[in-house]
Amino acid sequence: MRPDDPIRLDRRRREDPAIKAALDALAAELQTAGRDARANAAEPERPLVTWAAALRDRLIAAAGTKPWQASADGLAGAKAWAMQAPDASTKPWALDAPPQASLKPWSAEALSASTKPWAVEAPTSASTKPWVLPFLARAERLSVRPMPLAGLAMAAVLVMVAVVGLAAIRSPGAPPAVAGVSVDAWLVRDGIRSSLADGIALHAGDAIDVGAAGGATLHLGDGEARLAGGASLRITALADGSVTLEQLAGRVYHRVALPEGGRYVVATGPLRWVAEGTAFDLRRSTTSGGGEQAELLAVEHAVTVRGDDLSARVAQGKLAVVTLTEGAAEALDIAPVPPELLDDPWLWANADADHQLDFELGILATRRGEPTPIPTAVGTATPGATPAEAAEAAGTPAPAAATPAPKPRATARPTAKPTAKPTQAPTSAPTAVPTPTMTLDLTACHGAVLIEWEEVKKGSFDHYLTLRNTDSSIPKAYPPKNGAVDPGTTYANDRDQLSAFDAGADAGTRTYYRAMTFDDDDEVTAWSSVKSVVPKDHADLGPLDVSGTALGLSFSWSSYGGPGKCFDYYKIVSSPDHANPSYLDGDQVLAAPGSQGDSSAAGLVHLPGTYHFIVEAIKRTDTGKFLVAHTEVETFTVLP
Amino acid sequence: MTHEQPGSRLDRDHERALVARARADAAAFGELYDFYLPRIHGFIVRRVGDRAVAEDLTAVTFERALNAVRRDDFRNDAFGAWLFRVASNAIVDHVRGASRTIPLAADGEPEPIGDERAARQLEAAVERDQLRRAMSRLSEQHRRALALRFVDDLDAEEAAAVMGCSRATFAVRLHRALNAMRGALAEEATDAA
C-alpha cells in the first residue's frame, strides 16, 4: 500500500476542531500568498496578445486541413472560426493584457491586432494558390529534355490542329464515368457538397474528396481511379474518349482502360502526367507554405510527365519524384523503385483488384505472386487497405493549378486491353511479408528535414527513432546497420511526440529515412517504409537593417518565403561578444515575431552598448528546434 | 477545510460539450483555447521563467490538445486537468533537454526550474517570516502540492492530474502538506523561543 493511499485515513476519526481551524487559517494565508505571487509576476505570466493570436491562427490553419474538412458542418465551423475577428476584448488573455503602452516589445503589433486580416487567412483556400511558371534545376539521375518555349508552342499548335482534325473525323464521345463503392467520400458539384453515392454518374467539373479514413473508386471508361484516404480528385474533362483529371491531393491509383485513341491525363499543379500504358500510382503531397511533391510509380508501361520546360518519360518500374516550390519544379528525380516501396498494402490491394478485373499487373505481378497478405480489394474502395500509407502521402489539400491546360497531342493512345491473368505461383511455404506499421512524412525544410509520423497506439512502447541513410537500405534494427545512422535528433520517448528533425544530412543529396518504434528491450515494434527527400541548406533572409529612435530599436528584414510548415517564429537575437549570435546557442532574444509575413519590429528596448544582431527563422518540433533561415549579422551601437 | 475555491472554471458539462464539438468544429476548440491559454501559459512560465520557452511549450501543449481532441478515442471527462498534465509533461521534457544549460542565479546557484520554481514563488510571497521558513522546511512533495494548489490555483482534479494521482490522493497530500507546515511552524516557534 502506498503511503499516500487515502484508504489509510481513519475516516471515523474526526479531526480536532482546533487543528482544523489552524489548517484553514494556513490555507487562507497561502491562498493570499499565491494570489500575490501571481499578481507580482503578472506581466510575464500573461501571454502576449499578438503571440496568442498568432498561435490561435496557426492552430486553426493546421486544423483547417484535417478532419473537419471532411464534413460540411466542420468546414462551416472552421470558416466560422476564421471569420471571428481577433477581437482582443473578447478573449480572456486579451482582458488580462497590460495596457497597450506597456505592451513592449510588440505594442505596435498589439495595437493593430484587431484589424489584422489573419482571421480570414486561416484556412487558406486551396484553389487560390498562385502557381508560377516552374523552372527546372537539374538533379542527379535527371532524365529531362528541356523543350524550348517556342518549340513547345509550335508543337502545341500542331497538336491542337491535329486534335481538332481528328475530332472532326471521329467523335467517340465522353467515356462513361460512374462512382463506385466509397466510404467517407464526397461529391462536390456546382459548389454543393454531398455524399458520394455508389452508381451516380460523374461529369466534367465534379470533384471527389475522400476523408482521411475513407476511400473511393471511380469507374472511368473501362478503367478505374481508386482514391486513398485523404485524396481529392477533380474531373476536368470527359470527351472524345479521353479523360482529363486534376489530382488535388493525396494518393490515387489509376488503372487506365479507354477506347483506342482516348487519352488519360492527370494534372498535379503545373505538371501533366499522360498515361502511355495502363496503370500508375500517383501521390501528391503539399506543404501549407506552397512546397509540394508529386511521386509517380509507373506500375504498367510508361507515363510521360510534362510541365513548362519539362518533359520526361517514366518507364515501368520507375519512380518519379518532382519537387516544386511555389509552383516551380526544383528537381525531377527518376530512379528504379526501391523494393521496399513495393511492400505496400495499398499497392497489393490494387494489384488484387486489377487481377480480379483481368488486367495485367506490370511490376506488381511478381509481388502479387507472393503470398503476401492483401488487406482487402480496393476495387471496392475499402479504406482499410490504405489509411496509414494514404494518410502518409496525403498531406494537406493541394493548391489547384492555375496554369492553362496543356495542348493536347493527337498521338496519345493508351490501350484498354484486358488480358489473361498472370499465372499465380504460390510457394509451398508462404512467408508473410511484414507490412509497415508507421507512417512517415518528410519535408525538406531549409536547414533540416522535418520528420513527422502518426501515433503508434498499439504495442509496447519506449520511444520513436528515425534512421537516415544515403541509400534506401535501412534495416529495421538498432544499432543502425548497412550504413544507416542515427541523426541524434529524432529520439522521442512519448507516444504523443510526433515530429522531429534532422539537420545533419547533406543538402542537395537524396537522403532516405525510416521511422521506427522501439520497446523497452530496443526491439522494433513498428516501422515505416523507407522514404526519401533532398535536404536543403538554410534560407537567406538578406541583410538586417537596424536603426535606433527615441522609442527604441527598429529592425527590418526579408520575411521567410519558404513553406509555412517549416516556420514557427522569428527570433531577434543579440550578443555583445558573439560575432554570430544564435538563438539556439542561448544568446539573448529581444523579440519573437510569430507571423511568417513579419519583416519588421520596432520599439525594442536594449541596454546601451555595441551588439551583434541577427534575425533567425525557427521551426519547432517535438524533439527540438532548428534554424530555418537567417539574416546577415548586423553590428550596431545602442546609445544611452 | 473551507479554503477558497479555485478561480473561475468552465462549467463541466459545457466543457465536455466543447471538447466533443472540437473534433469537427474549430470554433469549439477556439473557445477552449481562449479559456485555458492564460492559465496554461502562466502555469508554464512560472516553472521555466522564460517567456520564449513558455511560448514554445504552451504551443506544444495546445497542438497536442488539438490532435488529441480530434481522435475518436479521446477520453472526454476532464479536459482541463488533462491539459495541465500535458503542459506538465512538456515542462519535464524541456527540463530534461535543458539539463546541461541550467541558468545560474545571481548567487551562482542553479536557478530552480519546474514545480520547485513555483514553490519558491509561493514561499517568497508569504508575508509572515515564520511561515516562510516553515515552508522552506517542507519536503519537495509537500511544496509541490502547495504550489499547485495555491500558486497555480488548480482545483483538486487538475492538481491530481499533474501529480499523476487520484483526486482523493491529492486531497490527502494537500492535507498532509498543510499539517506538515503546521508542525514546521510549531518548530519555528519553539526555535524562536
Residues in chain A: 640
Q: What is the mean pLDDT of residues A142-161?
A: 41
Q: For A74-103, how does the pLDDT look when each residue is reduced to its tens digit (9 = 90+)?
A: 333 333 323 333 333 334 444 333 333 222
Please report, in angstroms and rounded to a whole number, the separation of the first and last CA atoms in chain B: 29
Q: Is the pLDDT of residue A578 over 50?
A: yes
Work out the minimum CA distance from B34 to partner chain A, whole angstroms.
Answer: 6
Q: Nearest 5°: phi and psi at A254? A: -105, 115
What ipTM did this prediction achieve?
0.87
Contact B122, A34 (CB under 8 A): yes
Confidence of residue A372 (pLDDT cuts 50, 70, 90): very low
Q: Is the pLDDT of residue B55 over 70?
A: yes
Work out the minimum CA distance from B49 to partner chain A, whole angstroms.
Answer: 8
> Would you call A67 and B179 a contact, using CB atoms and an 8 Å cutoff?
no
How many angstroms separate the CA atoms of A148 and B79, rounded? 60
Which of A637 and A552 is assigned the larger pLDDT?
A: A637
Task: Give the A:B interface size as CB pairs under 8 Å.
Answer: 180
How many angstroms separate the CA atoms of A376 and A378, rounded? 6
Q: For B142-191, how does the pLDDT look when each residue is reduced to its tens digit (9 = 90+)?
A: 999 999 999 999 999 899 999 888 888 888 889 999 999 999 888 877 77
∠ at Cα B42 (A59, B163), nearest 5°?
95
Confidence of residue A630 (pLDDT cuts 50, 70, 90): very high
Chain A hits for B66, Cβ within 8 Å? 59, 62-63
Interface of A with B in 535-574 (CB under 8 A): 568-569, 571
Q: Is the pLDDT of residue A474 over 80?
A: yes
Q: Is the pLDDT of residue A394 over 60?
A: no
Contact A47, A56 (CB under 8 A): no
From residue A261, give the alpha-carbon distance in Å to each of A159, A178, A239, A357: 14, 21, 11, 22
> Would you call A23 and B45 a contact, using CB atoms and an 8 Å cutoff?
no
Chain A hits for B181, Cβ within 8 Å? 26
Query: What distance lies between CA B68 and its chain's CA centroid?
Result: 20
Q: Which residue of B has its CA nearest to A55?
A: B59
Residue A417 touches chain B, beta carbons under 8 Å: no
Report the DSSP beta bridge partners of residue A601: A555
Q: Is the pLDDT of residue A408 over 70?
A: no
Q: What is the dihedral of CA A159, A161, A164, A170, to 10 degrees?
A: -80
Q: Is the pLDDT of residue A306 over 50?
A: yes
Report the DSSP beta bridge partners of residue A610: A637
Q: Nearest 5°: phi and psi at A33? A: -60, -40
Residue A25 touches chain B, beta carbons under 8 Å: no
> Would you call A52 and B37 a contact, using CB atoms and an 8 Å cutoff?
yes
Chain B hits for A77, Cβ within 8 Å? 21, 24-28
Residue A452 touches chain B, beta carbons under 8 Å: no
Closest CB from B24, B58, B121 relative to A37: B121
The C-alpha R_g of chain A, in whole angstroms, comes to 29
Q: What is the DSSP string of A58-124?
A: HHHHHHTTSGGGSSHHHHHHHHHHHHS---GGGSHHHHTSPPGGG-TTSHHHHHHGGG-THHHHSS-
Chain B hits for A84, Cβ within 8 Å? 27, 30
> Would you call B122 and A74 a contact, using CB atoms and an 8 Å cutoff?
no
pLDDT in the model for residue A603:
74
Closest CB from A41, A46, A55 relative to B121: A41
> Would you call B93 and A56 a contact, using CB atoms and an 8 Å cutoff?
no
Share the mean pLDDT of chain A.
Answer: 70
Q: Which residue of A has its CA nearest to B142?
A: A4
Q: What is the mean pLDDT of residues A162-177?
A: 51
The pTM for the full model equals: 0.38
Output the nine-digit C-alpha cell for A464: 520513436
- How many other C-beta atoms lie within 10 A of the C-beta of residue B186? 13
Of A100, A110, A102, nearest in space to A51 by CA:
A110
Of A369, A374, A365, nearest in space to A427 by CA:
A369
Q: For A587-610, how does the pLDDT look when each residue is reduced to its tens digit (9 = 90+)?
A: 888 888 888 888 988 877 777 888
Residue A16 touches chain B, beta carbons under 8 Å: no
DSSP H helical ranges for chain B: 12-22, 26-48, 51-69, 79-97, 115-125, 129-136, 140-146, 156-163, 167-192
> Would you call B37 and A30 a contact, using CB atoms and an 8 Å cutoff?
no
Element housing A197 (H / E): none
Work out the minimum CA distance from B99 to partner chain A, whole angstroms.
Answer: 13
How many angstroms separate the CA atoms of A614 and A634, rounded? 6
pLDDT in the model for residue A339:
80
Q: Which residue of A has its CA nearest to B148?
A: A34
Chain B hits for A23, Cβ within 8 Å? 1, 175, 178-179, 182
Query: What distance lies between CA B152 and its chain's CA centroid?
Result: 5
Residue A520 touches chain B, beta carbons under 8 Å: no
| Torsion sign across C-alpha atoms B182, B184, B186, B192 | negative
SS3 content of chain A, % helix, strand, coil (to 5): 25, 30, 45
Chain A hits for B151, Cβ within 8 Å? 34, 37-38
Interface of A with B in 573-632 (CB under 8 A): 586, 589, 592, 620, 622, 624-625
- 3-state class of A531 per DSSP? strand
Q: What is the mean pLDDT of residues A337-349?
A: 83
Confidence of residue A422 (pLDDT cuts 50, 70, 90): very low
Of B88, B70, B83, nearest in space to B37 by CA:
B83
Q: What is the mean pLDDT of residues A373-383?
A: 34
pLDDT in the model for residue A345:
81
